[in-house]
């Protein structure tokens, strides 16, 4: 099949290669904000300059307002019927709400020190600031013990900054805190919550109903906040080591209705499916393993969610998490949007590639149209797309793209394309000669074939019993080997018969060029009270990566079932080359010559710096 490309389906309305606005897909919102026509609100994030919230009509700047820092995303949401929607800007642990491009409300994510902070951290700051019972050196020692027990990522931002500073700066930080809070009789407010993503969903089935804000944080929590009263409706904790970075909703937040929430997590190839029912409330229903990282995802009108992965695949799942279809593409997926054309009842998806945009219609998802933005050899590349109502036109495609720095003072541009109301998308057959008829060449039965067939017929029960016996023996052997391996090091490779009983796990976080390697160490048995020197040693290609620490010492005395986290920052030196290197990690005991434990892994492909 092929698509009919005789008629012109897209009309380019506007083209601005030097828009002088640097933004990403998460910081773009389209809606009827003030003038009765759909307009565009984006976050301008120039490197090293102040951030702005910009309101645009067409490609013309209408108004702007300064932002305190870099946001992670913005979403428009309805607060009341007949009222222009507001815009929620997620910055650190707060939502800044703007109405008519003016600051309207600030919502802070609920935080509980007893629940979200390691035990004892708040007490140490109170002893140091309010009572002045400990100095900066003692505070650093006590906070370091908490870091070794719980990990620095679970501690407050104040403690993280304090621990990563020099002793002179630590003394200055404590003196400044005492001077600020001593007269108030309280310690600094500790917080370690950062918003990572947000989206909206309707509170009721009505189109003009109030929206519910769905917020994800780096602590693995999902918050559901009423967009009208800013009251916390629900809160759910994700499984450990799952940090959301994109949320996809389907359904309405009603007491007697069911909705689906797909959570795409940072550095994970699994997607969590959360559902709400009258019996169980909001809970994790399923983990969908996609075998690759997700680039983007959309929910179509036919109640399917489509994932675009980094290995150039499209995956269709129904809202219950069952796989429906898979399509392997030949080009890198940049972005996706839901496509619709009400005049002819078309529905499908728009897929953005580096130089073109394709339309795949439901239910066959065949590519019926291709909109070329640039030639294949061109250096420009698409960054994001948005499809929907814009201005007075109901079906408009916004395309953001990047320009080379040496060709223009700004490296971002935008184009506006309109889909013709009279356009049709019809597949036509490829005309050609009929397929010639060929007789199949079936080989004749040989003597060996006949003898084997008779033997299988006469001894079918005996052969089946032998097969079942061998299969069960193989399963038993695999189970025993897996049990022995899990008791030693949970998948790591012990290097000697005297391997110590450690449970060691390793995680890699980040998209590049900067990564974070976390190693969790736990003793499964009683360790000797005699101090023993142990070290984690990293072996890697120094031309590809830079590690903050090549050797990390382990505490001399380890206690049973006490988990310790070690962190090591990694920087990719040449992300533009798209190279991946192998890293080996050894656990060395000073009293033993061979390593106690080792593992090797391949570093993920680093993203290029923006």
Question: What pLDDT, in 10s, does the model give residues 293-308?
Answer: 888 888 887 688 999 9
Concatenating the DSSP letter of every residue in 441-503 gives -PPPPPHHHHHHHHHHHHTHHHHHHHHHHHHHHHHHHHHHHHHHHHHHHTT-EE-STT---EE
**In which residue are the tokens 């995802």 written?**
297
CA distances from 468 to 458, 475, 610 (A): 18, 11, 57
Instruction: Give the residue extent of every domain in the chain.
Output: 113-181, 447-489, 493-602
> Distance between CA atoms of 188 and 193, rounded to whole angstroms?
15
Token pair, residue 374, equals 């640039």
Which of 56-60, 181-185, 291-295 shows the lowest per-residue confidence on average (mean pLDDT)? 181-185
H-helix or E-strand spanning residue 369: strand 366-372
Which of 144-148, 187-191, 332-336 shows the lowest per-residue confidence on average (mean pLDDT)? 187-191
- Higher pLDDT: 380 or 395? It is 395
Cβ neighbours, 10 Å, residue 85: 20
3-class DSSP state for residue 129?
A: helix
Residue 515, pLDDT > 80, answer: yes
- Tell me the CATH architecture of domain 493-602: Sandwich (2.60)
pLDDT at 403: 61
Which of 347-351, 484-488, 493-497 shows the lowest per-residue confidence on average (mean pLDDT)? 493-497
Question: What pLDDT, in 10s, does the model give residues 416-436?
Answer: 999 888 888 875 444 344 545
pTM for this prediction: 0.64
H/E/C letters for each residue in 166-217? CHHHHHHHHHHHHHHHCCCCCCCCCCCCCEEEEEEEECCCCCCCCEEEEEEE
pLDDT at 553: 92
Helix axes 460-489, 447-458, angle to 10 degrees: 80
Question: What pLDDT, in 10s, does the model give residues 353-381?
Answer: 988 888 888 777 788 888 888 876 667 78
pLDDT at 433: 47
Confidence of residue 42 (pLDDT cuts 50, 70, 90): very high
Residue 3, pLDDT > 50, answer: no
CA-based nearest residue to 585, from 538, 518, 549, 517: 538
Concatenating the DSSP letter of every residue in 16-67 gives ES-------GGGEEEE--SSSSBEEEEEE--TTS-EEEEEEETTEEEEEEEE
Whether the CB-CB separation of 352 and 372 falls below 8 Å is answered with no
Average pLDDT on 510-523 reads 89
Whether the CB-CB separation of 387 and 400 falls below 8 Å is answered with no
Residue 610, pLDDT > 80, answer: no
Average pLDDT on 216-222 reads 90
Average pLDDT on 167-173 reads 86
pLDDT at 116: 74
Cβ neighbours, 10 Å, residue 360: 20
HSE at residue 121, side-chain half, CA atoms within 13 A, is 32
pLDDT at 48: 76
Confidence of residue 439 (pLDDT cuts 50, 70, 90): low
Which of 259-263, 483-487, 501-505 shows the lowest per-residue confidence on average (mean pLDDT)? 483-487
Which of 71-85, 123-137, 341-355 shows the lowest per-residue confidence on average (mean pLDDT)? 123-137
Residue 92: left (phi > 0), alpha (psi -120 to 50), or beta?
Answer: left
Average pLDDT on 517-523 reads 90
Residue 438, pLDDT > 60, answer: no
Question: What pLDDT, in 10s, does the model give residues 266-278?
Answer: 888 889 999 887 6
Confidence of residue 405 (pLDDT cuts 50, 70, 90): very low
Cβ neighbours, 10 Å, residue 599: 17
Whether the CB-CB separation of 88 and 213 falls below 8 Å is answered with yes
When mean pLDDT is compared over 162-171, 401-410, 421-430, the highest value belongs to: 162-171
Whether the CB-CB separation of 210 and 228 falls below 8 Å is answered with yes
């Amino acid at each position: 099949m092929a698509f009919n490309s005789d008629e012109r389906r897209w009309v380019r309305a506007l083209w601005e290669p030097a828009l002088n606005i640097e933004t990403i897909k998460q910081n773009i919102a389209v809606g009827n904000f003030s003038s009765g026509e759909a307009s565009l609100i984006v976050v301008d994030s120039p490197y090293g300059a102040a951030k702005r919230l910009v309101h645009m009509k067409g490609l013309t700047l209408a108004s702007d307002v300064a932002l305190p820092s870099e946001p992670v995303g913005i979403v428009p949401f309805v607060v009341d019927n007949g009222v222009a929607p507001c815009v929620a800007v997620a910055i650190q642990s707060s939502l800044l709400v703007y109405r008519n491009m003016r600051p309207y409300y600030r919502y802070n994510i609920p935080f509980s020190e007893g629940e979200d902070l390691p035990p004892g951290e708040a007490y140490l700051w109170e002893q140091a600031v309010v009572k002045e019972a400990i100095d900066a050196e003692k505070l650093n020692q006590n906070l370091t013990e908490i870091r070794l027990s719980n990990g620095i990522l679970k501690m407050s931002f104040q403690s993280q900054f304090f621990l990563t500073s020099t002793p002179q700066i630590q003394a200055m930080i404590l003196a400044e805190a005492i001077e600020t809070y001593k007269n108030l009789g309280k310690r600094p407010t500790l917080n370690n919550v950062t918003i990572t993503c947000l989206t909206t969903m309707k509170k009721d089935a009505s189109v003009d109903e109030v929206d519910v804000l769905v917020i994800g944080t780096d602590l693995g929590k999902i918050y559901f906040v009423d967009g009208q009263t800013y009251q916390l409706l629900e809160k759910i904790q994700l499984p450990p080591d799952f940090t959301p970075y994109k949320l996809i909703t389907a359904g309405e937040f009603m007491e007697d209705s069911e909705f689906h929430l797909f959570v795409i997590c940072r550095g994970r190839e699994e997607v969590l499916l959360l559902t709400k029912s009258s019996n169980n409330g909001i809970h994790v229903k399923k983990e969908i393993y996609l075998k690759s990282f997700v680039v983007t995802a959309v929910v179509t009108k036919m109640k399917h969610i489509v994932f675009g992965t980094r290995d150039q695949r499209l995956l269709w799942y129904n809202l219950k998490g069952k796989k429906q279809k898979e399509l392997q593409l030949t080009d890198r997926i940049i972005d996706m949007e839901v496509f619709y054309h009400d005049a002819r009842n078309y529905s499908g998806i728009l897929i953005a590639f580096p130089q073109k945009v394709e339309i795949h219609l439901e239910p066959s998802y065949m590519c019926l149209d291709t909109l070329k933005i640039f030639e294949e050899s061109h250096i420009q590349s698409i960054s994001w797309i948005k499809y929907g109502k814009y201005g007075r036109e109901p079906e408009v495609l916004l395309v953001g793209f990047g320009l080379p720095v040496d060709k223009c003072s700004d490296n971002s541009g935008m184009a506006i394309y309109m889909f013709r109301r009279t356009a049709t998308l019809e597949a036509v057959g490829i005309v050609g000669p009929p397929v010639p008829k060929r007789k199949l060449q079936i080989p004749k039965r040989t003597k060996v074939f006949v003898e084997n067939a008779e033997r299988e017929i006469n001894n079918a029960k005996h052969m089946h019993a032998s097969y079942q016996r061998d299969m069960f023996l193989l399963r038993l052997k695999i189970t025993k080997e897996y049990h022995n391996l899990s008791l030693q090091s949970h998948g790591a490779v012990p290097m000697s018969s005297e391997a110590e009983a450690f449970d060691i796990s390793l995680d890699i976080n980040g998209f590049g060029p900067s990564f974070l390697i976390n190693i969790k160490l736990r003793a499964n048995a009683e360790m000797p009270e005699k101090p023993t020197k142990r070290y984690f040693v990293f072996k890697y290609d120094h031309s590809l990566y830079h590690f903050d620490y090549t050797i990390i010492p382990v505490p001399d005395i380890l206690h049973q079932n006490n988990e310790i986290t070690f962190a090591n920052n990694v920087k990719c030196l040449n992300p533009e080359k798209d190279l991946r290197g192998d890293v080996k990690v050894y656990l060395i005991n000073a009293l033993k010559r061979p390593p106690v434990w080792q593992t090797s892994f391949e570093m993920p492909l680093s993203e290029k710096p923006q």
